[in-house]
C-alpha cells in the first residue's frame, strides 16, 4: 500500500531563502546540479526552479513587495505566467498605471496589480462617484453597496 506524503505548507516556503540555500550548497560543493540538491533541500524540481527564477523578475515588480522573504513559489508562478501570456510591457504598464510603484504591498496586492484586477476595481470606484469613506460606512446590503465595498476592498488589497 502506498503511503501518503505528509502535508507541507508549500505556499509558505520562501523562494528567496530556498535560492540562498541552493547557492550556498552549490558553492560549498554539496551538490553540482539542481537534481542533486532536491533531496537535501526537501523540495520539488518545480519549487527549486521557481525559487531560482525569482531574481529574473523585473526590479519594478520586486520593489512592490513588502518583504522579499515572503515571496512564495505560487507568487513567482503567477507573475511569470502573467508576463508570458500578456507581455512584460503590459504588466509594467499596469504597475505604472496603478500608482503602486512608490509603496510596498502584500503578496496578494502585488498579484492583483500584476494581473490588472486592481485597475478594474479603481475604475469601478471612479464610476460609482462615491467617497470611499461613505462607501465603507453604508450599512444597507443593497447590490450597489456590496459592489462598491468589494471594489474598495480590492483597491486596498483586503480581499
Domain that holds residue 156: 116-159
pLDDT digits (tens, 9 = 90+) for 57-102: 999 999 989 888 989 999 999 999 999 999 999 999 988 887 767 7
Residues 106 and 34 in one domain: yes
Regarding whether 69 and 47 lie in a shared domain, the answer is: yes
Domain annotation covers residue 1: no
- Overall pTM > 0.75: no
Write the CATH number for 32.
1.10.10.2830
Task: Tell me, yes or no, whether 4 lies in a domain.
Answer: no
CB atoms within 10 A of CB 143: 7
Domain-located, residue 111: yes
The pLDDT of 147-155, averaged and rounded, is 64
Domain count along the chain: 2
The set of residues, in sequence order, having a beta carbon less than 8 Å from that of 150 and lying 6+ positions away, is 121, 159
Which pLDDT belongs to residue 108? 84
The answer on 122 and 72 residing in a single domain is: no
Three-class SS of residue 65? strand
- DSSP letter assigned to residue 4: P
Domain co-membership, 57 together with 124: no
Question: Which secondary structure element, helix H or strand E, spans residue 131, and what is its range?
Answer: none
Helix (H, G, I), strand (E, B) or coil at 86: helix
Q: Is residue 155 part of a domain?
A: yes
Q: Based on the domain organization, do 87 and 24 belong to the same domain?
A: yes
CA atoms within 13 A of residue 54's CA, in its CB half-sphere: 24
pLDDT for 27 equals: 95
Same domain flag for 73 and 120 = no
Contact between residue 120 and residue 147 where contact means Cβ atoms under 8 Å apart: no
Q: Would you say 37 and 25 are in contact if contact means Cβ atoms under 8 Å apart?
A: yes
Under DSSP, is residue 157 helix (H, G, I), strand (E, B) or coil? coil
pLDDT at 142 over 70: no
Amino acid at each position: 500500500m502506498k503511503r501518503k506524503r505528509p502535508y507541507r505548507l508549500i505556499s509558505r516556503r520562501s523562494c528567496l531563502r530556498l535560492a540562498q540555500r541552493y547557492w550556498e550548497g552549490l558553492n560549498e560543493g554539496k551538490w553540482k546540479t539542481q537534481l542533486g540538491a532536491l533531496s537535501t533541500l526537501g523540495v520539488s524540481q518545480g519549487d527549486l526552479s521557481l525559487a531560482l527564477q525569482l531574481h529574473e523578475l523585473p526590479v519594478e515588480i520586486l520593489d512592490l513587495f513588502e518583504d522579499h522573504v515572503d515571496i512564495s513559489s505560487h507568487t513567482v508562478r503567477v507573475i511569470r505566467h502573467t508576463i508570458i501570456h500578456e507581455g512584460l510591457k503590459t504588466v509594467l504598464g499596469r504597475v505604472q498605471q496603478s500608482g503602486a510603484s512608490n509603496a510596498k504591498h502584500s503578496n496578494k496586492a502585488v498579484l492583483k496589480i500584476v494581473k490588472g484586477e486592481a485597475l478594474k476595481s479603481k475604475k469601478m470606484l471612479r464610476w460609482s462617484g462615491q467617497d470611499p469613506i461613505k462607501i465603507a460606512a453604508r450599512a444597507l446590503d443593497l447590490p450597489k453597496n456590496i459592489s462598491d465595498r468589494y471594489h474598495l476592498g480590492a483597491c486596498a488589497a483586503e480581499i
